[in-house]
Amino acid sequence: MSNLTVKNVSKIYPGHSANDEPVLALDRVSFHVEDHEFCSVLGHSGCGKTTLLMMMAGFEDASEGQIMVDGKPIGKPTWQRSIVFQDYALFPWMTVQENISFGLEMKKIPLADRKEVIQKNIQLVGLSGFENRYPHQLSGGMKQRVSIARALAVDPKVLLMDEPFAALDAQNRALMQEEMGRILASSDITQRKTMIMVTHSIDEAVILSDRIVVLTRRPGRVKANVIVNLPRPRVEESPEFIALKRQIRDLIHDEFEIEA
Ligand SMILES: Nc1ncnc2c1ncn2[C@@H]1O[C@H](COP(=O)(O)OP(=O)(O)OP(=O)(O)O)[C@@H](O)[C@H]1O
Ligand SMILES: [Mg+2]
């Protein structure tokens, strides 16, 4: 089980040509995610959410500052920090179970053990019976379930998700949020992964998170770090839920006015 620390992290993208100004995408971002916590990073489009997640995964370097897992600076990308991409990124020529198996093969898990892990994770995301389907035979919501199952199957220390439900229509999005809420509510807390999800949906963040880090508009800075203590599964009609949503909405709305 693992915790993750973002310490004074900035990211400057160099300009593409001599006339192009460098872009300061993130500015001295710091926060800490505890063991077993579900943390959402919430902010407007272009505030540096994907950049931050790519740095956590190890695909991008920080220009300044450090990202640590269990107090140790992270290195290259590894299955220990697995990532769910916005566009699923499944292999189209592989079935559901082959897609999930891929990471396990990379990890050199023996075939007999692989089968059990695949089955457990397929069941967890509610896809039993679809093991032999190909991605093109699945709906967007189902594809996203496969990519979540694939990321969880390798038993990462930290699960990173980039707007995992953004490509879905409103109905499927609500279903997936519910499903994720169910997974979080039912699993033994000590078994739960440390998860970080970037999103621009306030609802999604409040339904799923133990902690919500609100970023400012670009360059992204930490605007607020809010602990969510509501019991799970979350009751969206409860006064506490509505009050928290309003609090977060005000924080985000402030940002809008500063920009205007
Ligand atoms: N590879 C890159 N090279 C140069 N600039 C980049 C690169 N990637 C991102 N940027 C810039 O950095 C800023 C932050 O981008 P990023 O994709 O991290 O934002 P985001 O919060 O994920 O946005 P969205 O909600 O639209 O996905 C933007 O201004 C973007 O143009
Ligand atoms: Mg993004």
Q: What is the mean pLDDT of residues 215-244?
A: 95
pLDDT of residue 105: 92
pLDDT of residue 212: 98
pLDDT score of 17: 80
Residue of the nearest CA to atom 5 in ligand 1?
13
Atom index in ligand 1 nearest the CA of residue 51 equals 18
Residue-wise pLDDT for 6-60, tens only, equals: 999 999 999 888 788 899 999 999 999 999 999 999 999 999 999 999 999 999 9
Q: Does 189 score more than 80 pLDDT?
A: no
pLDDT of residue 260: 43
pLDDT for position 92: 94
Of the pLDDT bands very low, low, confident and very high (cuts 50, 70, 90), residue 177 is confident
Name the residue with the closest Cα to ligand 1, atom 1. Answer: 13
- 174 pLDDT more than 90: no
Residues 6+ apart with CB under 8 A from 30: 6, 7, 8, 9, 65, 222
pLDDT tens digits for 68-111?
A: 999 999 999 999 999 998 877 899 999 999 999 999 998 889 98
Residue 185 tokens read as: 């509510």
User: Ligand 2 centre from 25 Cα, in Å?
Assistant: 12
Question: Could you confirm whether domain 4-80+158-259 is CATH 3.40.50.300?
Answer: yes
Ligand 1: nearest atom to the Cα of 54? 18
- 210-229 average pLDDT score: 96
Query: What pLDDT score was predicted for residue 187?
Result: 67
**Structure confidence at residue 125 (pLDDT):** 85
CA of 51 to the centre of ligand 1 (A): 6
CB-based contacts of 137-145 (< 8 A; 24+ apart in sequence): 138/96, 139/172, 140/88, 140/167, 140/168, 140/169, 140/172, 141/168, 141/172, 141/175, 141/176, 143/88, 143/90, 144/84, 144/88, 144/168, 144/176, 145/176, 145/179
* 196, amino acid identity: I
Please, which pLDDT band fits residue 258 given cuts at 50, 70 and 90?
low
Global confidence as pTM:
0.91
Contact 252, 259 (CB under 8 A): no
Determine how many CB atoms are found less than 10 A away from the CB of residue 217: 18
Counting ligand 1 atoms within 8 A of each CB, the residue from 49, 56, 198, 255 with the most, and so the one to mutate, is: 49
Bigger pLDDT: 233 or 63? 63
Task: Decide: 49 and 198 in contact? Cβ < 8 Å.
Answer: yes
| CA of residue 85 to ligand 2 center, whole Å | 10
Start and end residues for every CATH 3.40.50.300 domain found in the chain: 4-80+158-259
The string of pLDDT tens digits covering residues 119-171 is 999 988 889 999 999 999 998 888 988 999 999 899 999 999 999 888 778 88
Q: How many angstroms is it from 46 CA to the middle of ligand 1?
A: 5
- CB of 48 closer than 6 angstroms to any ligand 1 atom: yes
